[in-house]
Amino acid sequence: MSSRTLACSVAAVAILLAISRARALTPDEENTIDVYRKVAPSVVNITTTPVDRGFFLSPTPSSGTGSGIVLQDNGLIVTNHHVVADARRIEVTLADGTHWEAVLVGSAPERDLAVIAIEAEGHSLTAMALGDSEALEVGQKVLAIGNPFGLGQTLTTGIVSMLGRTIRTDDGRVLRNMIQTDASINPGNSGGALVDSRGKLVGVNAAIFSTTGSSIGIGLAIPVNEVKRVVPGLTSPWGRWLGWALAALVLGWMLRRIYR
């Protein structure tokens, strides 16, 4: 057999193997794999010290871990407020395994959103593309990526179970217009990404309903359109000062009416 014939035979075998592999995966599986490869680098693990409350709004004791989503390639990361609340130290682990100390940029407890920042010198960060949560439909496929129980870069899949849910957190705050999904979500997934089949962010995983502390198929996420509305005020110094000024004015007005 000539070298040319041998080369052609090897190429033919390689093509047949590729075709066989392609046929072994359904279009939906191929989509899931492609989306995961696209968005996983934009999801980070977050570790805080110390942790004084449950990270996932559930009775399960906190493990001190959560998740975050890279919003900008300059190191801005969005997560849940309850992931970083009262933390003295925040550490971020990127998809490449490197660890970076983070600082809190701003937090909105009433929306359970927070922004932290890292300076990952020499590392290229990939910001996640933002979708439109107003366009979601019940039954639509979604994928959740996060750090459940400290097991980073975990993927689960499901559908949008319902839209517009309202929940009350353990500390009495009311979160409205939440996305309900049956994609498996567990403690540590807080702050992780809920993405659509195009790999665009549609929600930030925030809470579960559970009698055991683990997933029973009822997870809740903050819509990405809420992230778009809240985050600019958290990252802008003027936005943060304006928030405090408005709060002071409201408090002053209330006190004046009480003691008038």
Model confidence, pTM: 0.77
Buried b (16+ CB within 10 A) or exposed e, 4-19: eeeeeeeeeeeeeeee
- Domain assignment of residue 169, given as a range: 133-228
Q: Cα 215 from chain centroid?
A: 16
Regions in the chain scoring below 70 on pLDDT: 1-14, 16-23, 50-63, 211-215, 237-248, 250, 260
Place of tokens 């975990």: 154
Give the DSSP per-residue string, 104-116: EEEEEGGGTEEEE
Residue 190 appears among annotated catalytic residues: yes
111 and 148: one domain?
no
pLDDT digit string, tens, across residues 177-212: 999 999 999 889 999 999 999 999 999 999 887 766
Q: Residues 67, 190, 210, 215: which is the catalytic one?
A: 190
91 and 58: one domain?
yes
CB of 102 closer than 8 Å to CB of 65: no
Q: Residues 42, 82, 161, 184: which is the catalytic one?
A: 82
- Provide the residue type at 80 as one letter: N
91 and 66: one domain?
yes
Distance CA 102, CA 50 (A): 14
Distance CA 202, CA 137 (A): 11
| Residue that terminates a domain, selected from 97, 127, 157 | 127
Query: pLDDT value at position 142?
Result: 98
- Provide the residue type at 217 as one letter: G
221 and 138: one domain?
yes
143 and 78: one domain?
no
Q: Residues 107, 112, 161, 210: which is the catalytic one?
A: 112
Q: How far are the Cα atoms of 155, 164, 235, 257 from residue 115, in angstroms, in the given order? A: 23, 24, 7, 35
For residue 153, give the CATH number of its domain.
2.40.10.10
Q: Which residues contact 70 (CB under 8 A, 6 or more apart)?
A: 42, 43, 44, 76, 77, 125, 126, 127, 128
Residue 210 in any domain: the answer is yes
Residue 209 in any domain: the answer is yes
53 and 99: one domain?
yes
107 and 46: one domain?
yes
Residue 53 in any domain: the answer is yes
Distance CA 13, CA 7 (A): 10
Beta strands in the chain (DSSP E): 43-49, 65-70, 76-79, 89-93, 99-108, 113-117, 141-146, 154-168, 174-181, 193-195, 201-208, 219-223
Query: pLDDT value at position 60?
Result: 39
Query: pLDDT value at position 92?
Result: 96
Residue 22 in any domain: the answer is no
Place of tokens 């939440």: 178
Residue 90 in any domain: the answer is yes
Residue 244 in any domain: the answer is no
120 and 155: one domain?
no
Q: Which residues contact 57 (CB under 8 A, 6 or more apart)?
A: 82, 169, 170, 190, 206, 207, 208
114 and 90: one domain?
yes
Buried b (16+ CB within 10 A) or exposed e, 82-95: bbbbebeebbbbbb
| Residue that terminates a domain, selected from 112, 127, 142 | 127
Instruction: For residue 27, say if its preceding peptide bond is cis, omega within 30 degrees of 0.
Output: no
Distance CA 207, CA 80 (A): 10
90 and 174: one domain?
no
pLDDT digit string, tens, across residues 42-80: 999 999 986 444 545 554 334 478 999 999 999 999 999
Q: How far are the Cα atoms of 32, 229, 244, 254 from residue 250, in angstroms, in the given order? A: 48, 21, 10, 6
140 and 205: one domain?
yes
113 and 67: one domain?
yes
Number of domains in the chain: 2
